[in-house]
A and B are shown apart, each in its own frame.
Chain A
Amino acid sequence: MLDTLTLFAGSVGGSLIVAVGCAVVGVFLVLRRIVFVGAALAQLSSAGIALAILLQSYGLSVMFFTDPLILSFLITLAGTSYFGVLAASDELPPDAGLGVVFVVAGALAVLFLARSAQADIYDLFFGGDVLLIPDEQLLILAAVILPVVLLYYLFSKEFLFISYDDQMAATLGYSVKGWNVALFATFAIVITFSIRTVGVLLAFAYLVLPPLIGIFAGSRLDRVFIGAITSAVVGTLAGFVLSVYWDLPTGPVVIATMGAILAIVWGSTRLTRRS
């Protein structure tokens, strides 16, 4: 087992950083019942990558703005600002706004790729090879995602308050729109870098499965975070080992492992409540 983890140390390290980052922001996505925001942001991020590929295929390069990661991040950040304002607004049903972004961004990603000659749709949606994370990307991930996790620790009460009871928060003078935009910006950062590293499917799984495991296992918010992070780490490590052992694609095995953990925790919770 250790041999496997040592052999793919860089990939395991990168995946663990992504896993922890997604698990932390995912707790808020799930508890705010806006998991679909994660899906919509993933689509926006994909559209950004596709647009960058399209621009590059036409030889259009505007400094670093046409780098897939940068353009993807900027577009996702713009989307999070929109969602942050939308969440604090009474004028539009939030799920309708999310639906619009999800379908339009998804369609644009496909159209951008259809016009470019450098990538295909499969690479976009399942790309980000877990086993081929270069060392420099590992450093970038650590430099970007770990500070986001630190922000959640520092501003835990602000993020909790505006998420749990925005009316009371506004009454006590909190800028609900401002904090919402900040919270959604953290979603953008983590989702963009995660998708670029491990692909849409695994990134989205990290956003949903570990937080659900934490919610089922933990009776308090701090324990929910601990449960989410722990299950993300265990699922990643076990997934790597099992994928090598069974000679199966790593990403789907990691997802299946976390799914199995979720089923066990959910079943245990049900049994405990009955008894």
Chain B
Amino acid sequence: MGYSNLPREVLISAQNLTLAYGSNVVFDGISFEIERGGLIGLVGPNGGGKTTLLRAILGALKPRGGRIARHGAEVRFGYVPQRRHLDPIWPLRVIDVVVMGTYASLPVGGRIGSTQMASANDALDAVGIEHLAEKRYADLSGGQQQRTLVARALAARPNFLVLDEPTQGMDLTSSTGILELISRLHEQNITILIASHRLNTIANYVETIALVYDGSIHIGPRDDLLTGENLSSLYGIPVEVIHGDGDRIVVFGG
């Protein structure tokens, strides 16, 4: 996954990877590579295994078989979970949530100091919501919450940002704002992997598409993979890709 003008450098490689929860095998013997500097869209239906794959890449899920390896210089992950994963009952301000991204820089039992607060404020500034620092996270709109979580991931100073359904439940304006923010972060040489079940939402923002479907993964440059023929073959239904103004619209059942 990942194509750019820079020399090809593999960041993550998976070989013959098997991922499972109990007796439920989600992936069986898949292999792929993620290159440094890529902007990759991981697309598939709900329940298709996108989050499972993300968790394995992040090291939060141990493979049942095969291996997943990090290469080259240090990989520093920033992770943006699905918003619904975070319980709104917790009485946390935006700054409280963002500063969690700095916890890895602290020893066990270490207290949050001015360095961590400065990093958190810088991250809030980077995503344009520094004015919301004292607001309660649960009271924010979906787009503001998503920016908060991106800020938290940035506070960890990552070189690889992983986002799980970053536009879920958002209106068009908020979705576009988040995806443009992600594009700007990619321009700062951060490798980005976005998981989404909405192909049309991210198709025009990513360089590479990884289609997850029925326990398999198909990866390629966006323009090579997003053809009506490929998608029809993959999903088993008629699919048409319409081009216009440099953008693509995928029409299922067309």
Spell out A's residues near B (CB within 8 Å): 31, 33, 90-91, 154-155, 157-158, 160-161, 164-165, 167-174, 215, 218-221, 223-224
Number of interface residues of B (CB under 8 A): 30
Q: Can you name 17 A-B residue pairings with CB atoms under 8 Å?
A: A31-B90, A90-B21, A157-B100, A157-B111, A164-B87, A164-B90, A165-B100, A167-B79, A167-B81, A168-B81, A170-B59, A171-B58, A171-B59, A172-B103, A215-B89, A220-B92, A223-B91
Spell out B's residues near A (CB within 8 Å): 21-22, 55, 58-60, 77, 79, 81, 85-87, 89-93, 96, 100, 103-104, 106, 108-112, 136, 152, 156
Contact A172 B156 (CB under 8 A): yes
Residues of A within 8 A of B156 (CB): 172
- Complex Cα distance, B87 from A157, in Å, reads 17
Contact B77 A171 (CB under 8 A): yes
Residues of A within 8 A of B110 (CB): 157
Residues of B within 8 A of A172 (CB): 77, 103-104, 156
Measured CB to CB, the nearest residue on chain B to A92 is: B22
Contact pick for A33, options B55, B87, B96, B103, CB 8 Å: B87
Q: How far is the CB of B224 from chain A (nearest CB, A)?
A: 31
Chain A contact residues: helix, strand, loop or mixed: helix
Knowing A155-B108, A168-B152, A170-B58 touch, does A221 contact B96 (C-beta < 8 A)? Answer: yes
- Complex Cα distance, B58 from A172, in Å, reads 9
Residues of B within 8 A of A170 (CB): 58-60
Name the residue among A160, A170, A171 with the largest chain B CB count within 10 angstroms.
Answer: A171
Contact A219 B91 (CB under 8 A): yes
Measured CB to CB, the nearest residue on chain B to A173 is: B104
Residues of B within 8 A of A221 (CB): 90-92, 96
Knowing A164-B87, A171-B58, A221-B91 touch, does A155 contact B136 (C-beta < 8 A)? Answer: no
